């Protein structure tokens, strides 16, 4: 996570869940005169237990639900939102985010190969109409994941 010089922030280890080889997260709170923002990054290690990871996402979102500030989460969730209507774990994760007012900003595939196109990474925003955001996907062939733009 990169933080521009001049921003006052503190780490929020009380929100994090880290399980070696399975699940990693990092949270900070940016302090401002107008309002504070909690920003987090969550990485689910590939080929780990989906149900257990979804429970960990849920646990983090429960902690964030008690915070009264804007929130932005970047995730490498490794659960394909393109399958939200056909895969139970995907639907469960989607519902967990939506039920806590976290809106996904990435709605088209960002990992594209010759045989698949998936939405396994996302940026979620929970705000009180503070942000004027435009989201989109940049299409540069630098890897099998497209870079994200906000």
The helix, strand and coil proportions of the chain, stated in percent and rounded to the nearest 5, come to 20, 30, 50
Q: Where are the domains of the chain?
A: 8-149
Top-confidence residue, 33 or 83: 83
pLDDT at 129 over 80: no
pLDDT of residue 51: 97
Q: Could you tell me if 67 and 44 are in contact, meaning their C-beta atoms sit under 8 angstroms apart?
A: no
Q: Could you tell me if 61 and 100 are in contact, meaning their C-beta atoms sit under 8 angstroms apart?
A: yes
Q: Could you tell me if 78 and 46 are in contact, meaning their C-beta atoms sit under 8 angstroms apart?
A: yes
pLDDT interval class at 93 (50, 70, 90): very high
Q: Domain 8-149 is in which class?
A: alpha beta
pLDDT of residue 150: 44
Query: Tell me: the pLDDT tens digits for 30-80?
Result: 998 788 999 999 999 999 999 999 999 999 999 999 998 999 999 999 999
Q: How far lies 118's CA from each of 74, 91, 144, 148, in Å?
A: 16, 15, 10, 14
- What b/e sequence results for 75-84 when a residue is b if at least 16 CB atoms lie within 10 Å of its CB, and e otherwise? bbbbbbbbee
Query: Rounded to two decimals, what is the model's pTM?
Result: 0.86
């Amino acid at each position: 996570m990169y933080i521009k010089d001049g921003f006052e922030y503190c780490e929020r280890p009380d929100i994090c869940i880290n399980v070696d080889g399975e699940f990693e997260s990092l949270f900070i709170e940016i302090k401002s005169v107008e309002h504070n923002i909690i920003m987090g990054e969550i990485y689910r290690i590939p080929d780990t237990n989906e149900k257990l990871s979804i429970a960990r996402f849920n646990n983090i979102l429960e902690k964030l639900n008690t915070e009264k500030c804007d929130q932005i989460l970047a995730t490498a969730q490794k659960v394909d939102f393109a399958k939200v209507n056909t895969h139970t774990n995907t639907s469960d994760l989607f519902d967990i985010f939506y039920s806590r007012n976290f809106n996904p900003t990435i709605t088209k595939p960002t990992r594209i190969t010759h045989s698949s196109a998936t939405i396994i990474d996302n940026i979620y925003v929970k705000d009180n109409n503070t942000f004027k955001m435009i989201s989109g996907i940049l299409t540069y062939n630098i890897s099998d994941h497209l870079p994200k733009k906000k």
